[in-house]
Amino acid sequence: MSRTVMGYWDCPVCGNKGVPGNVMNCPACGRARGDVQFYMKDNAQNTSREEDERGDIEYLTQEQSEEIGKNPDWYCSFCNSLNKDHAAFCTNCGASRESSESNYFDQLKKRQEAEAAEQAAQPAQSRPEAHQKKSRLPLLLIILALIVGLMMYMNGSSTYGDLQVTELAWTRVIPIEQNREFTESGWTVPSGGTLVGQRQEIHHYDQVLDHYENVEVQRSRQVLDHYETYYTYSDNGNGSFEEVPHQRPVYTTEYYTETVSQPVYVNVPRYATRYTYTIWRWVDSREATASGNTHDAYWPETNLAADEREGTNRREVYAFSTVNEKGTAQVWHLAEADWQAIDVNQRLTITTQRGSGESWIVDEKGNKQIRVYRN
């Protein structure tokens, strides 16, 4: 069953707050209630409350509720005075209620629309969000400057000037493979393999249904436990609010045991023929290596045996060492053609880009000449 709750209003003339909704004139300045907006304590209108959250609500007696009524106040179309719901004639000018079409909610909607239109018409820079965006501008500029600075730093380079070449070095490697016989086993004999034996072995297991058995399993379900009451509130438009009770179901989890039939499987071995065979394969065996510290680089002699062959992927490394004025040594790698142009005691300038890590030998104007790599 619904109940009527006291509402309140604030005087727009003197600022007196918390005037009871059934009071038609401001106790402080005498101004008629007129065009105001009603509210509940703690601004709880149009929100819900639980059963134990209604201690501060002021309920009206039956007599007070009947005096205020259930319908919104109405406005006189002739003098715009506010009248109670049960008044058949305007208390100010005596005009009939039948000739009036506006009530509390109509006036409230007009006022809200006017306020929204006024706010929308304000200059963009005067709105709070515009000021907020404006205040963020310096921070964005600082972040942008930091990003640009970081990009410029990463695109910069570190230069190692006046480096003296102290040594040349080269290495060439040829991998050597050997043809060896291996004994292996498998479910098939590969091409080139020679069969030497075979036997039956378990290849895999199949799961086969054996029987069914009854087992107990625990289940759960949601069952209704009780109902809880909560309340909502609506503005009557006459200085009071209507409290309406609602029922909310509360469920609890119930556990129970159920007997179900489950299949039971057994693993059945499946056999196949496994073969043993021999097969010849080329495998890595050794490396033939040559190295030196002059420009006369050559490939080493392989001296292959009857069961050997040269493997793929020959390797070659060309490098030179440098030392700076502080005595710090560094080894650099590069392509053979460029390495041939480097001489011991030569003076070089090498620059390394911070972002990519690329290193180049540069001329006196900083122009890139030869790409090098750090050891």
Confidence of residue 43 (pLDDT cuts 50, 70, 90): low
Do residues 315 and 358 make contact, with C-beta atoms less than 8 angstroms apart?
no
Alpha carbon distance 16, 9 (integer Å):
9
Task: Give residue-wise pLDDT tens across range 253-309.
Answer: 999 999 999 999 999 999 999 999 999 999 999 999 999 999 999 999 999 999 999
Report whether pLDDT(141) > 80: no
Cα–Cα distance for residue pair 39/27, rounded to 1 Å: 18
Q: Is the pLDDT of residue 105 over 70?
A: yes
Instruction: List the domain boundaries for the chain.
Output: 3-121, 123-155, 164-176+288-374, 177-234+253-280
Alpha helices (H) in 122-263, listed in sequence order: 128-155
pLDDT at 190: 97
Closest listed residue to residue 268, CA positions, set 353, 225, 208, 316: 208
Residue linked to tokens 């918390």: 18
Q: Binning pLDDT at 50, 70 and 90, where does residue 227 land? A: very high
Buried b (16+ CB within 10 A) or exposed e, 72-101: bbbbbeeeebbbbbeeeebeeeebeeeebe
Average pLDDT, the chain: 88
- Cβ neighbour number for residue 60 with a 10 Å cutoff: 21
Burial class (CB in 10 A: 0-12, 13-18, 19+), 239: buried
- Report which of residues 8 and 121 the model is more confident about: 8
What does the pLDDT read at residue 169?
Answer: 97
Query: What pTM value is reported for the model?
Result: 0.49
pLDDT of residue 83 exceeding 70, the answer is yes
